[in-house]
Amino acid sequence: MSKPALFNESSEEILDNLHTNAANGLTADEVAKRVEEFGPNALEEAKGTTMLQKFFNQFKDLMIIVLLVAAVVAAATGEVVDAVIILLVVVLNAVFGVFQEAKAEDAINALKEMSAPNANVRRNGQIETVKADALVPGDIVLLEAGDIVPADMRFIETSSLQIEEAALTGESVPVDKINEVIEADELPLGDRKNMGYMNSNVTYGRGTGVVTGTGMKTEVGRIADMLDQAEQTETPLQANLSQLGKVLTVLILIIAVIVFVIGMLWRDESWVDMLLTAISLAVAAIPEGLPAIVTITLALGTTRMAKRHALVRKLPAVETLGSTEIIGSDKTGTLTQNKMTVEKYFVDNQLFDAATPLEGDAVVLADILALNNDTKEIDGKLVGDPTETALIQFNKDHERDLPQLFTDKPRTNEIPFDSERKLMTTVHPHEGRHFVTVKGAPDQLLDRVTRILIDGQVQMLTEEQRELILKTNHDMAVQALRVLAFAYREVEDLPDKLTSDEVENGLVFTGLIGMIDPERPEVAQAVAEAKDAGIRTLMITGDHRDTASAIAVRLGILDSAENADAVITGAELDKLDDETFANQVKQYSVYARVAPEHKVRIVNAWQKQGKVVAMTGDGVNDAPALKTADIGIAMGITGTEVSKGASDMVLADDNFATIVDAVQEGRKVFSNIQKAIQYLLSANLGEVLTLFIMTLMGWSILAPVHILWINLVTDTFPAIALGMEPAEPGIMKRKPRGRKSNFLSNGVQSSIIYQGILEGALTLAVYWIGITYPVHMNDALAHKDALTMAFVTLGLIQLFHAFSTKSVYQSIFTVGAFRNKYFNLAILTAGLLMAATIFIPGLNSMFHVTPLDLYQWAIVLGAGVLMIVVVEIVKLVQRRVFHKI
């Protein structure tokens, strides 16, 4: 069997190629053969992962592997409790990750569920109703208003057929379908007017088509295949944590080896003792609580975002939003409301806003809008063609008594709309005459108009008036308005059979109506706020160039309609190779008449520029790009299950402005994780330096249990609380971090180094004071006192330092030292737990420490206060000299 032809072949050729017959359809035997050949009309399910696989996938992260090694090390040194604690942290982190993934719907399965359940098909000369998955290429399918197109097809008959294809093309207005050949080699999906596509909706008329593609060979199937093959992008958070894990691993190994070698060669220690010392250093260097802290901070961010109607499906997506530089948004249903609305009307040679009260000839125009209309109202909801429902809604908005109008002027006859003449006519008896209404394309209707209604008087239409009407039509069109013209005539008698030539002439022009799929009211402000935050918004749509450009200007995505260089169509994009497009991508802000593969190319091109890309959308056609983007954002109300399944985040209220709120939350989450990392790593560096120098000096060294207790108590609670800090002022006025930024950038790395050195120096100084000026003359007791002072100092100094890490450069008095109640509680709890090891009998013997007197406590607390003073002085110099924020 030859390959089925598409829009550029005649229906007769296609029927021949498919070996089928329009009048009789396929035979039962032929259907059975084709089911064997082509398989069911269903989408293939993607290969899923089991819950167990998802769980083990959580352990592939390098930081997690480092922690597992730390647990083995702790167990090997006899610290079983510490090993259990580390393993518990790792397992909890994995459970969090699996829980988030388990909530997600599989995107390919969602596509499968969208398939139409039934189809009316002509087989063996009879019309049968069959399951849509039983269709095969060559089947003859009959469609009418309300049907879902069950497979890809070429139309062989159409009668005023209109199909809404927004989920595939992004174009909100239903497409008029034809059965003629379209002479073109290449056409965008939305311009293939003699084709029907699986899962689109019939809104008006009737049609018959021959199935040309089923299952994975349909346009929806092609998208499903793209979606299945799309690579999962590593988020900036995952990249940063992976990089941090690698750096820490290398540093830990280097430090441990150096200490081991020095001890063996210089101090002539036994290899067993030095191995235990090296292990202590490794335990000190590993931030055991970091993965749990990151997970908890992200989870808290998801909770806050859910309250703002942004539902996060994958935890790293919270932080990824904070680094977003590009937001590529679908137009229909995302930036716009996906419903036609009357915006302007033109009567008496004047243009009015839709809200202007109806008077004089405007009332006549409104009557025609309602009478020449097939909209039905069911349970208070307008059902029908979106254009016609907009005309009825316009009447309702002006509180017109439509039931009375329909009673006074009932419809008795009509000439339905067809795509050739682009007109629709209805007949209504009134006061012994026939009131004939006509609506249609302005250029077609004006050819049949001879008179015009002006101030209640019917006059001959002058050339100047005709030019004014055409100019008004053009002006509204360039503003992305869809324009319809309306006219009428009153006649005594009508022919038995209505024809266009006899009825649709000698008309009285009444007015024009300009309609649009209006932008969401909050979007323009959201785009402006995104621009202030250094984020560029792109419009990516299947709509026509002029429509897309006009909407982009209204939203502030384009500065002016004359900025034509910033707009590109899918056809123009096809002419550019990937390298050329990637080099030119910064030029374009609006993409019109695009196909699904174009959206993926756009995302890839920006990613090649090193940008972090967020993609929003609600249709099936958006799914591959949503999955390819750094963060995919689906609409929760109007979005298809496909787009939701492919996304990282879902907007529960379909509100574009929610994205800006989510970006702010994402930036706050990153900033708070960065604070926690600064706090943890500076503390761990202080611990490593303390142990390293104590080893070199031959002093009594802190045991692994000391380090693990400090890491568990004084690291974890304050670090988690830092993740709950409020957003710093002006966070949405900063430029995006971008992909190259990491947790150690923006001065954090240098802060970690000098603050870690300071912590270590102060701890060593306290130990030196304790050993040099002992309270007890007994050397053993003096060493135990000094070791206790070093242990307490190393723990409490971190709690003091936590206040300074509330901001990298701002003073603690500016950001508010005590405004985070959770932080205050965490510091108090950690301080009490540290004190408990000193004061509680039995517990202090477990930790090999001894109670301190007031002199010793004064030295310990003085070191903590000095830590804050020095850091605040350094930050003051940075603000004054280096103009840091």
Say whether 185 sits in a helix, a strand or coil.
Answer: coil
**Is beta strand 423-430 parallel, antiparallel or unpaired with respect to 433-440?**
antiparallel
Q: What are the structure tokens assigned to 65, written together?
A: 């592997």
**What's the burial of 250, exposed, middle or buried (CB within 10 Å: 0-12/13-18/19+)?**
exposed
Q: What are the structure tokens assigned to 613, written together?
A: 């890309």
| The residue count for the chain | 885
Rounded-to-integer distance, Cα 476 and Cα 353, Å = 12
Rounded-to-integer distance, Cα 627 and Cα 630, Å = 8
> Which residues, including other chains, have CB under 8 Å from residue 813's CB and lie 6 or more apart?
none
Does residue 795 contact residue 763 with C-beta atoms inside 8 Å?
no
Rounded-to-integer distance, Cα 488 and Cα 505, Å = 9
Does residue 206 contact residue 143 with C-beta atoms inside 8 Å?
yes
Query: For residue 311, what is the DSSP state?
Result: E
**Closest by Cα among 262, 149, 263 to 206:** 149
Query: For residue 636, what is the DSSP state?
Result: S
Rounded-to-integer distance, Cα 644 and Cα 635, Å = 7
**Closest by Cα among 140, 109, 117, 111 to 220:** 111
Rounded-to-integer distance, Cα 612 and Cα 216, Å = 31
Does residue 596 contact residue 580 with C-beta atoms inside 8 Å?
no
Does residue 250 contact residue 657 with C-beta atoms inside 8 Å?
no
Rounded-to-integer distance, Cα 534 and Cα 738, Å = 10
What Å distances lie between residue 630 and 15, 316, 653, 814, CA to CA? 45, 10, 22, 34
Does residue 163 contact residue 206 with C-beta atoms inside 8 Å?
no
Q: Which residues of 132-144 are buried (b: 16+ CB within 10 A; e: fewer)?
A: bbbbbbbbbbbbe
Amino acid found at 820: N
Say whether 373 sits in a helix, a strand or coil.
Answer: coil
Instruction: Exactly one of 133, 152, 176, 330 is catalytic; name it.
Output: 330
**What's the burial of 51, exposed, middle or buried (CB within 10 Å: 0-12/13-18/19+)?**
exposed
Active site residue 330: yes
- Our measurement of the distance from residue 68's CA atom to the centroid of its chain's CA atoms, rounded to an integer in Å, reads 34
Rounded-to-integer distance, Cα 176 and Cα 394, Å = 23
Amino acid found at 260: F
The residues annotated as belonging to the active site are 330
